[in-house]
Copies of this chain bind each other. A is one copy, B any other.
């Protein structure tokens, strides 16, 4: 039973000095300090439960997100949690459509990251009060209630509420078996931990050996800074993992559209499953052009970790601009907006491979992708991977 009035919302600026070791480094983010704006929501209920929510950042600028969280807090403070979850679509709309604050977004950048952190904390609190992990809360929720959490504004030309309902109804067939399967075997994953751009070849080899010994079968390598360097590193990894295991490449937005096609064509011999973020995350038509050019080489396009809202994902799907869709659990507006993207991906037949790897992302995203498998996609084909 959902209970309590939101009595306090606090937010912390949490930073880790990961740049010291080059961890997380790529072609565009050469010195990230993995960080988070960390929201804690308390109620006046006697259970003492708190909701924790984050948005991931790279160090500098976390204080800007913290400032935005404080600017948005009044939309949830002093509200009853029951009223919030009973009209979760309404609260989402209220946070994202504040008549003054939306100007500095809307639904993008700092204010949207702050919105995600606040909503993530509300979902966490709801799940805790129900005594369930988030994925189980979602899996057990009846379709009508689940849809009442989603704002369909701006996506109704691609997915109506009625279509979304049909997808969820269809997803109920076999869901119990898939839940048992997930509990027994977990969700498959891949690793990027061996091949950050800032690592030396020796470090890369050593980490790759360890990953192989640990049983990893899917490996992602960062590319895009220097072509000869990429060729050397990709050859090194492909030689180590052999021809059967899966290799993915990630350019982190380094290229213009023609450059992306040219560069990736020169890496085609290493048989990547996908090229991730070949260009600007805003460039839907660019991703469509790259997808079309690389399809004959058997290379797919993956993107999403910096796609700022459901409107961008809608268009990437409409334009056949990606073959792997990478939601981010705290760049999109929390579970609410992620649900809409999972449902659109299902309608368009595109597998979802969430972005993770940063502070808290692996924890957050597992709930979404397990729900996706059990209740929406019912498939692990090609979507069997996450961990940036």
Chain A interface (Cβ within 8 Å of chain B)?
28-33, 56-61, 63-65, 67-68, 71, 97-113, 153-157, 253, 256-259, 279-286, 289, 306, 308-309, 311-312, 314-315, 318-319
B285 contacts A315, C-beta separation under 8 Å: yes
Q: Which one, B71, B156, B253, B306, contacts A63 given CB within 8 A?
A: B71
Interchain Cβ contacts under 8 Å between A and B, 17 examples: A29-B99, A33-B100, A57-B100, A59-B100, A60-B98, A60-B100, A61-B68, A104-B110, A107-B282, A108-B108, A153-B280, A156-B256, A156-B259, A157-B289, A280-B311, A282-B309, A282-B312
* Residue numbers in B under 8 Å from A280 (CB-CB): 153-154, 311
* Residue numbers in B under 8 Å from A105 (CB-CB): 109
CA distance A259 to B285 in the complex (A): 24
B319 contacts A153, C-beta separation under 8 Å: no
CA distance A336 to B363 in the complex (A): 41
A104 contacts B257, C-beta separation under 8 Å: no
| Minimal beta-carbon separation of A58 from chain B (angstroms) | 4
Q: Which residue of B lies closest to A316 (CB)?
A: B285
* Residue numbers in B under 8 Å from A258 (CB-CB): 156-157
A108 contacts B57, C-beta separation under 8 Å: no
Sample of 8 further A-B pairs with CB below 8 A, known A29-B100, A64-B104: A57-B103, A59-B100, A60-B101, A61-B103, A64-B67, A104-B113, A282-B308, A283-B311
A64 contacts B108, C-beta separation under 8 Å: no
A57 contacts B104, C-beta separation under 8 Å: yes
CA distance A256 to B283 in the complex (A): 21
B67 contacts A32, C-beta separation under 8 Å: no
| Minimal beta-carbon separation of A99 from chain B (angstroms) | 5
* Residue numbers in B under 8 Å from A282 (CB-CB): 107-108, 154, 308-309, 311-312, 315
B286 contacts A106, C-beta separation under 8 Å: no
A104-B110, A283-B311, A286-B157 known; A28-B67 Cβ under 8 A: no
**Shortest 3 CB-CB contacts between residues of A and residues of B:** A109-B109, A110-B110, A60-B100
| Minimal beta-carbon separation of A148 from chain B (angstroms) | 18
* Residue numbers in B under 8 Å from A59 (CB-CB): 100
CA distance A56 to B103 in the complex (A): 9
Q: Which one, B103, B110, B279, contacts A58 given CB within 8 A?
A: B103
B99 contacts A30, C-beta separation under 8 Å: yes
CA distance A59 to B104 in the complex (A): 10
B64 contacts A28, C-beta separation under 8 Å: no
A28 contacts B102, C-beta separation under 8 Å: yes
Q: Which one, B28, B57, B68, B110, contacts A97 given CB within 8 A?
A: B28
* Residue numbers in B under 8 Å from A98 (CB-CB): 60
B64 contacts A110, C-beta separation under 8 Å: yes
A111 contacts B61, C-beta separation under 8 Å: yes
CA distance A31 to B30 in the complex (A): 42
* Residue numbers in B under 8 Å from A110 (CB-CB): 64, 68, 104, 109-111
| Minimal beta-carbon separation of A112 from chain B (angstroms) | 7
CA distance A1 to B106 in the complex (A): 41
| Minimal beta-carbon separation of A382 from chain B (angstroms) | 25
CA distance A311 to B308 in the complex (A): 14
CA distance A309 to B281 in the complex (A): 12
| Minimal beta-carbon separation of A258 from chain B (angstroms) | 6
* Residue numbers in B under 8 Å from A57 (CB-CB): 100, 103-104
* Residue numbers in B under 8 Å from A100 (CB-CB): 29, 31-33, 57-61
Q: Which residue of B lies closest to A257 (CB)?
A: B157
Most buried by B among A67, A71, A104: A104
